[in-house]
Structure 1
Amino acid sequence: MRLCYVFANTGTENFKTSEFEEACGVGFEVSEEEIEQSVNEAFEENKSAILEQRYKTNVGGLLAHLRKRHSRADPKIVKAIIDTKLSELLG
């Protein structure tokens, strides 16, 4: 928060604190339900490729795809949900 305080006190008239905080993600949360829904959608879009590649599936590509949808989501939660979904799909 110190960074936000420094920028807020620069004395520039054009600085808008609310826009800065929004860009920083202050107060922004992504629920596990939203992440899980996006993971399910990503798996439906890529199901044939995932089944074809099985455990050689590029998990990094799935993570990047989901990062675009939810840039502020906790990557640990996203990875855990992807791993669970892969396990359910592939056994």
Structure 2
Amino acid sequence: VVVLDESTAEAGSEGAAELERAVLAACAGRTTLFVAHRLTQAMAADRIAVLDAGRVVEEGTHAELVALGGRYARLWRAWREGGQAGC
């Protein structure tokens, strides 16, 4: 099991994309837990858990969570409408 906590937090937008590709390649075939605020990392995951105050409030794939219309969907829409900066 590989656990990565904010693995791209210090990378700029351009550097983060390159780092994300490298991390995903390195973790291929391994169980990996990403702790992430960047939606690009969440979107690439097989399963996403949305936490609030330490509790899982939503769980599913990117498509399932967007369709659910909850917290993840609101974050995703705001990210898309905001030009995808910083996520």
Confirm or deny a common fold (TM above 0.5).
no
Q: Please give the range of the TM-score, normalised by the shorter of the 2 chains.
A: 0.3 to 0.5
TM-score normalised to the size of structure 1? 0.33
TM-score normalised to the size of structure 2? 0.34
Q: Which has the higher contact order (CA 8 A, sep 6+)?
A: 1
More helix by share: 1
Larger radius of gyration: 1
